[in-house]
Amino acid sequence: MTTSDPHHDAGSVMPASPVGAPAQPAAPKRLTSLGIAIGVSALAIFAAISFHRKPPPEASEAPGMKVAASGISLTTGAPQWKVLKLGAVAAPTERWSDPYPARFKVDEAFAAKVGSPLSGRVTNVFIELGQPVKAGQPLFAIASPDIAELRAGQQKAAVDLDVAKAAYERVKAMVEARALPAKDEIESDQQLRQAQLSLQLAQTKLRSLKVSSSGDNEFNVLAPRDGAIIEKSVLPSQHVDSVDTLVSIADLNDVWVVADLFEADAVGLSAGMKARVTSPSLPGFSADASVERVSSVVDPERHTVGVRVKLKNADGRIRPNTFAEVRFLSASPAGSTEIAASALVSDGPKQYVYVQQTPGHFVRRDVIAGAVRDGRISIIDGLKAGDTVVEQGAVLLDNQIDLSM
């Protein structure tokens, strides 16, 4: 039987680890993982630095079209010819402008504003708005103490004149009989003349009122001219002053057509130019006349210029304040030309057209454009008569230039 050595056993047996204690990680494995991560990161950075995006493909020119610094050229069979339309630059001609809004107004040279010459109260009104009247026809009646005073002054002057006449005749007879000295006749004659002047003054005051009598303290205001009542602001029992305008009368045989044009539209207009007036309120109405006046000043609020045309209205068909339209016939400025309005291209600050220099070769040319009339536009500078321009399809050429830039 073998006897165990207690010392030998105690030294040869390793102590066991406590139950549940964590195992220690291996250092070599950690170093290997870190090295792999660093390598992957380095490769990613290198790949990002060396990456170059391919440039976008250059826009290819349209078939049959070549864009160069000198312009655009089209071959004979290019498909773009199907949408292009060429036209010749023409010399300027007289053309009617586009219609401008206007209105009919009374001719102020044949109009009158009527008021009461004296303050008072309206007792009767004899007219209505729009009614035709004749010169001397009563318009309305006014009761006023002032008229009674004027009439009393006239009557007193007439009485004083009769007394002065009788006195003069008596003094004259006595002077002839040598009962009075000659100087008394001279004094009596002077008093007679003063009485005559007083009566004339009283009569003149009454005549200047241009009224007719309708009572001791009442008078009728009369129409100063033939015409129609175009304004009326008087009613019975209304108190009026001598500064009030109560009735307006106008002769409508002649009327004005007044248009307010913006400053740019009024350039080139002058008195004597031909004008054509129409009105949507008067079907079939059209009248040609001449510009009578172009205002020398601009309205400070609306920045418009007043243009006036005079028309005959013998049949009374035209009524004041009716809406109208007016066109003007004017020649373009000297040295200018005209083209189809569709030929003009604009990029904002500049306006230009495409001119055909040689068959199939087009160049862009800056121009200064004027007004548009009937689909044609005036070119003040940049073209000459006989040039050939692209009237339709200029935008196609414009887009191709933008793509090639």
pLDDT tens digit sequence for 295-333: 999 999 999 999 999 999 988 899 999 999 999 987 667
Rounded (5°) CA angle 312-317-97: 60
Least confident window among 91-100, 126-135, 335-344, 390-399: 91-100
CATH number for 100-108+250-330 (one of 2.40.40.20, 3.90.400.10, 2.40.30.170, 2.40.128.520): it is 2.40.30.170
> Given the structure tokens 């290819």, which residue do they identify?
60
- Cα-based distances in Å from 317 to 163, 164, 381: 60, 60, 45
Cα dihedral 198, 200, 202, 206, rounded to 10, equals: 180
Q: Give the mean model confidence (pLDDT) for residues 208-216.
A: 79
CB distance 315 to 357 below 8 Å: no
The confidence band for 213, taking pLDDT boundaries of 50, 70 and 90, is confident
The answer to whether domain 66-93+334-404 has CATH 1.10.10.10 is no
Residue 77's pLDDT is: 82
Q: Side-chain half-sphere of 304: how many Cα atoms within 13 Å? A: 12
Q: Side-chain half-sphere of 308: how many Cα atoms within 13 Å? A: 13
CB distance 116 to 138 below 8 Å: no
Tell whether the model's pLDDT for residue 19 goes beyond 70: no
Residue 211's pLDDT is: 85
Per the rule left: phi > 0, alpha: psi between -120 and 50, beta: everything else, 76 is alpha
Q: Which residues pair with 105 in a beta bridge?
A: 256
Question: What is the strand order of the sheet 218-222 is part of?
Answer: 211-215, 218-222, 138-143, 120-125, 239-240
13 by Cβ neighbours in 10 Å (0-12 / 13-18 / 19+) ranks as exposed
- Tens digits of residue pLDDT in 323-335: 999 999 876 677 7
Q: Give the mean model confidence (pLDDT) for residues 176-187.
A: 88
Nearest CA-CA partner of 12 in 4, 3, 23: 4
CATH number for 145-216 (one of 1.10.760.10, 3.30.565.10, 2.30.38.10, 1.10.287.470): it is 1.10.287.470
Higher-confidence position of 253 and 400: 253
Q: Give the mean model confidence (pLDDT) for residues 23-35.
A: 62
CB distance 303 to 262 below 8 Å: yes
Rounded distance between C-alpha atoms, residue 336 and residue 380, angstroms: 4
Q: Give the mean model confidence (pLDDT) for residues 323-350.
A: 87
Higher-confidence position of 307 and 20: 307
Rounded distance between C-alpha atoms, residue 228 and residue 309, angstroms: 21
- Tens digits of residue pLDDT in 232-271: 999 999 999 988 999 999 999 999 999 999 988 888 889 9
Helix extents (H) in 6-139: 6-12, 27-50
Who's near 85: CB < 8 A, 6+ residues apart? 390, 391, 392, 393
CA diameter of the chain = 217
Tell whether the model's pLDDT for residue 8 goes beyond 50: no
Rounded (5°) CA angle 26-29-35: 145
Nearest CA-CA partner of 330 in 381, 382, 371, 279: 371
Residue 333's pLDDT is: 72
Residue 97's pLDDT is: 84
Residue 114's pLDDT is: 95
Tell whether the model's pLDDT for residue 2 goes beyond 60: no
Rounded (5°) CA angle 160-161-167: 90
* Listed ranges 55-69, 137-151, 322-336; the one with the highest mean pLDDT: 137-151
Rounded (5°) CA angle 294-299-300: 150
| In the chain, domain spans | 66-93+334-404, 100-108+250-330, 145-216
